[in-house]
């Protein structure tokens, strides 16, 4: 999917100011505490390196809105941590305004969401959820923890020639972080002693053949080549199992979340707090409510012919200083200072903020930096480019009665998929999920039923289109799911479809109608790849295989922006794996420097 930040660079260019002398120094400075930066900072400190972790938000680890995984919708809407990023899906304004959850600023402190804004309302765009909080977006997401396809790891190994990125090797990082709470100990594909708790739901409901949801489940089994009589067992299949043919296997699974079996969220926040509280007194320092405005370079290395070296960061201290924070007061700035890094600065701000920080620091496309009067430290044309994401869409219907059911999780291949790999991740149940806007989701009443879909391995990377193949695959998935609904039986059926085909009439629910719906109403929240790892000959590669920013020293980027392509359907756990891999690489390199 294509998204554009609305003047994000311009909005924050004014943050750069003259800095006071440095007040402190650390071996490593990590900017951002989410799935990329949080685990990395903890690992570096546990290896004995003095590490400063900088977070623009606060710590909500004890707040039930965040600590209880079931409150994820409330967490994502909470102004305590929310950053309001407004994006657009198209360069055509008329096309963009077809999105039914387009958001407007009414001018009186409220939002209008819809297609008929009041007079004088200011267009904001399409909300893209981000979180400023210790633990990052892993503190406000739904907690889905799924491995990407092996190809998503192997592509990095192929691009860089670094075999440590192979899927076979990357599994060890998942095992290192995982504290599995749903399988008997001893499964070679899982870890049981890590800091990230994983758990699954009770799917015993699937044994009750009288439930409408079970009838839908069995029909889905039939439509996707599974045994309907075994459906009650298949729903407990491990979604994170390992194997050569896993990525080609259509099956039901039990959705895994990074939460413990009591429903408490598990995230980098837990690991950071455990590291701070450990009696070993690891040298980890956390600065909250601190906004990094740029990376600082050694002036001596900025001379012609020298390789620029990062030596620290410039920060402003205070809450809600970033303009995307809904609590931000226009014109507010905090005290500015510099903090030095003896070894390296590691940026982990996420797919939007990491390239922004690099650009504000003079690293990025030279023409763009010059346009904003930012001195060029290194011309890197790939910074901020290659943005990737999953298409997401949903089918929503209202039953004649409540659809009694648990959650159905299915990974499957549509008939029009371009290869043997499964391409749709769907979950169906009595909930509503139609994208993101202030106050989402809409409650459609006790009979609501949704099948939400994430399209895996999108071809429309970085805004390009490939014959509408991605849209056709979503349509292929929708047709299968809709057919399964018909099995719900009375009094639930027939379900009254709300979208993509209102009324669900077969003669009007053409593939073209559905493709147009998904083109205008698709949404997403898995941005990646804006500081992509790549090979030496790749002109748009920002990082090498060890996360080092090309053309400078002492600077790395470790977060979802490093992935060359979107990893699977949900990037949270893959990014945590990437984080501990980065820690291993950095620690190994540091040890060599001691020799």
Q: How far apart are CA 198 and CA 147, in angstroms?
A: 13
φ, ψ dihedrals at 45, nearest 5° = -65, -40
Neighbours of 20 (CB within 10 A): 10
Neighbours of 381 (CB within 10 A): 15
Angle in degrees, CA 442, 447, 449, rounded to 5: 70
Q: Residues 58, 82: contact at Cβ < 8 Å?
A: no
Q: How far apart are CA 544 and CA 526, in angstroms?
A: 22
Q: How far apart are CA 273 and CA 49, in angstroms?
A: 17
Tokens for 315, please give them: 């920060």
Q: How far apart are CA 348 and CA 557, in angstroms?
A: 6
Identify the CA nearest to 460 among candidates 8, 9, 6, 89. 89
Q: How far apart are CA 481 and CA 497, in angstroms?
A: 12
Q: Residues 36, 350: contact at Cβ < 8 Å?
A: yes
Q: How far apart are CA 13 and CA 357, in angstroms?
A: 10
- What is the dihedral sign for C-alpha 61, 62, 65, 71? positive
Tell me how far CA of residue 594 lies from CA of 172, 585, 588, 591, in angstroms.
Answer: 26, 15, 10, 5
Q: How far apart are CA 312 and CA 303, in angstroms?
A: 18
Q: How far apart are CA 224 and CA 207, in angstroms?
A: 19
Terminal CA-to-CA distance of the chain, rounded, Å?
47
Residues that constitute the known binding site = 133, 141-144, 292
The three state secondary structure string of 533-544 is ECCCCCCCCCEC
Q: How far apart are CA 216 and CA 492, in angstroms?
A: 11
Residues that constitute the known binding site for FAD = 133, 141-144, 292
- Residue linked to tokens 């060359």: 564
Q: Residues 72, 133: contact at Cβ < 8 Å?
A: no
Q: Residues 310, 297: contact at Cβ < 8 Å?
A: yes
Burial class from Cβ neighbours inside 10 Å (0-12, 13-18, 19+) for residue 307 reads exposed
Tokens for 278, please give them: 């450990």
Q: How far apart are CA 325 and CA 124, in angstroms?
A: 14
Angle in degrees, CA 573, 578, 583, rounded to 5: 125
């Amino acid at each position: 999917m294509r998204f554009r930040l609305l003047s994000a660079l311009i909005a924050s260019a004014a943050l750069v100011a003259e800095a006071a002398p440095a007040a402190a120094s650390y071996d490593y400075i990590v900017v951002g505490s989410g799935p990329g930066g949080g685990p990395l900072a903890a690992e570096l400190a546990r290896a004995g390196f003095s590490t400063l972790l900088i977070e623009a938000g606060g710590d909500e680890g004890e707040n039930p809105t965040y600590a209880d995984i079931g409150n994820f919708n409330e967490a994502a809407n909470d102004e305590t941590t929310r950053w309001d990023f407004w994006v657009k899906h198209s360069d055509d304004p008329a096309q963009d305004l077809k999105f039914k959850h387009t958001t407007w600023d009414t001018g009186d402190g409220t939002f209008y969401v819809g297609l008929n804004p009041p007079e004088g309302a200011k267009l904001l765009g399409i909300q893209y959820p981000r979180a400023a909080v210790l633990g990052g977006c892993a503190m406000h997401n739904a907690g889905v923890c799924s491995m990407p396809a092996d190809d998503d790891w192997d592509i990095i190994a192929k691009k860089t020639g670094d075999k440590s990125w192979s899927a076979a090797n990357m599994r060890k990082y998942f095992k290192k972080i995982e504290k599995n709470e749903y399988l008997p100990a001893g499964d070679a594909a899982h870890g049981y002693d890590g800091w990230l708790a994983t758990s699954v739901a009770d799917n015993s409901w699937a044994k009750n053949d009288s439930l409408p949801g079970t009838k839908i489940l069995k029909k889905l089994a039939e439509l996707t080549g599974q045994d309907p009589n075994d459906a009650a067992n298949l729903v407990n299949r491990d979604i994170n199992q390992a194997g050569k043919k896993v990525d080609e296997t259509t099956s039901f699974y039990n959705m895994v979340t990074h939460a413990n079996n009591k429903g408490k969220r598990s995230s980098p926040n837990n690991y950071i707090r455990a590291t701070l509280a450990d009696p070993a007194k690891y040298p980890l320092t956390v600065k909250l409510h601190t906004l990094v405005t740029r990376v600082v370079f050694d002036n001596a290395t900025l001379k012609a012919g020298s390789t620029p070296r990062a030596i620290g960061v410039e920060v402003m201290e205070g809450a809600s200083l970033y303009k995307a924070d809904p609590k931000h007061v226009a014109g507010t700035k905090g005290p500015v200072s510099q903090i030095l890094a003896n070894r390296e600065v590691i940026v982990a701000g996420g797919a939007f903020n990491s390239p922004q920080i690099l650009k504000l620091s003079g690293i990025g496309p030279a023409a763009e930096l010059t346009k904003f009067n930012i001195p060029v430290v290194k011309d890197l044309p790939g910074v901020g480019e290659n943005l990737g994401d999953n298409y997401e869409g949903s089918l929503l219907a209202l039953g004649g009665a409540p659809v009694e059911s648990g959650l159905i999780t299915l990974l499957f291949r549509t008939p029009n998929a371009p290869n043997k790999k499964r391409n749709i991740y769907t979950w169906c149940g009595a909930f509503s999920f139609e994208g993101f806007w202030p106050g989402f989701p809409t409650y459609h009443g006790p009979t609501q039923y949704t099948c939400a879909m994430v399209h895996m391995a999108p071809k429309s990377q970085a805004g390009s289109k490939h014959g509408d193949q991605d849209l056709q695959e979503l349509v292929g998935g929708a047709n299968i799911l809709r057919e399964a609904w018909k099995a719900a039986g009375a009094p639930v059926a027939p379900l009254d479809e709300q979208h993509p085909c209102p009324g669900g009439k077969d003669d009007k629910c053409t593939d073209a109608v559905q493709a147009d719906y998904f083109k205008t109403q698709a949404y997403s929240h898995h941005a990646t790849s804006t500081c992509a790892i790549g090979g030496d000959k790749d002109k748009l590669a920002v990082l090498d295989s060890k996360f080092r920013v090309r053309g400078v020293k002492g600077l790395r980027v470790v977060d979802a922006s490093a992935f060359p392509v979107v990893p699977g359907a949900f990037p949270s756990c893959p990014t945590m794996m990437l984080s501990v891999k980065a820690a291993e690489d950095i620690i190994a390199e540091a040890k060599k420097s001691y020799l």
